A and B are shown apart, each in its own frame.
Chain A
Amino acid sequence: MNSTKLIYSWLTEHDELTFIACNDFELMDQLRELGIIVHCINYDINYKDKDDVICKDAIFDKVEFKGCVVHWNCEKTFPVGKVHQGEFILRGDAKGHNGDCNPIHNHAQLMSQNGLFNLYDKYHDDTHTYVYGNNLGADGI
């Protein structure tokens, strides 16, 4: 884990995380080694036999979001903040790959799409936009 990245400090603040659309299994294993309960929901049927993957579509299927929801590729799906209320760590890019329905250009886009108006932190790196916050209402409760 490259702990110099801000997102890792966000992730390690939590006891339980639900990752969406993430295939960085090394990262998720490292978080588990730190004692964090990590759930992984991924619609990719290539992972249907993988024990540590819930092979479902987090947007369309009935799934349970536990702890802080970490969406690793927001550019690929409908905003998860429209189907779930809670704490989120959201990551997306604007590379515009074939199959990307929602290229992410800036923080405001992620915040408004997901109703994430209680913002704890945000940053960009060379490729991605990151936001950390909740959509629990005006007072964050």
Chain B
Amino acid sequence: MVKLNVLKWGNKYDSQYVNRLYTLITKNLDIPFQLTVWTDDTKGITTEIEHRDIKELRPYDTERMFTYEKLMLINRDESEVNGWLDLDIHINENITELITRPHPNITFIWNHWNDFRDMSLRPYGKGSSCHVNSSFVFWDKGKATWLREYTEEHWEKIAWTYKSLDKYLFYQHARNNRLSFWGEGLFSNYNVDGLGGKVTLFNTSHLYNNKISVYKKHYELHETDLFMAY
């Protein structure tokens, strides 16, 4: 059994985001799975998905680090294979191989769609870079324990320093080669290189969270035809 998790809180995404992703997974994953939604509002979410209170993933009284809740899924009643997915993704192709391959370490997305030298290496010292994406993450039972333990041990420093999970992962763990990454070509970013790979991300939350203004229009999933394509 594979345990999949999604997180939904606030009003940025509605229940249709959850239900469409569930349908997409059923069409593109050939093995049994259980999907849990961690949320503050279960209204409209299909009962085929397990509903859990997102407060269970919030041991810390902070809104400082965006989506740290994902890390609280680690070591929580794990199955043989475990993962989380962001709601604003579109699954283009069958993902069974991604899920069933061995994950000897927790596996994240490397932002291959952005040039590392220009986007992340050059401004690295400013603390503003990020080349890790946590929209589609999997690990085998017990293989991510180190990350949960490190996070708990260093929480005060982490919460002080980083506004997002991805930036924490980039500066503290990618820097020390502790993370694993999916291969190049498996994921695309709709707002950078369009559709491609097995899964397409929209990846707009950090723009809002960091109040980053961009000249180019960045599309939300529901603003595209893909939203109804499931």
A contact residues vs B (CB 8 Å cutoff):
21, 23, 42-46, 57, 59-61, 76-78, 83, 97-102
Contact = CB atoms under 8 A, between A and B. Distances in A.
Interface of B: 121-129, 154, 156-157, 160-163, 171-172, 175-176, 210, 212
Contacts of B172: 57, 60
A45 B117 CA distance: 11
Contacts, number: 50
Contact of A101 (B129, B160, B176, B212): B160
Which label, helix, strand, loop or mixed, suits the secondary structure of the B interface? loop
A46 B125 contact: yes
Most A C-beta atoms less than 10 A away, residue of B125, B126, B156, B162: B125
B167 to A, nearest CB: 9
Nearest to A44: B125
Given A59-B157, A98-B126, A99-B127, A43 B121 contact: no
A79 to B, nearest CB: 8
B170 to A, nearest CB: 11
B160 A78 contact: yes
Contacts of B124: 44-46
Given A57-B172, A60-B154, A42 B125 contact: yes
A78 B161 CA distance: 6
Contacts of B163: 101
A97 B126 contact: yes
A33 B122 CA distance: 30
B121 to A, nearest CB: 7
A76 B128 CA distance: 10
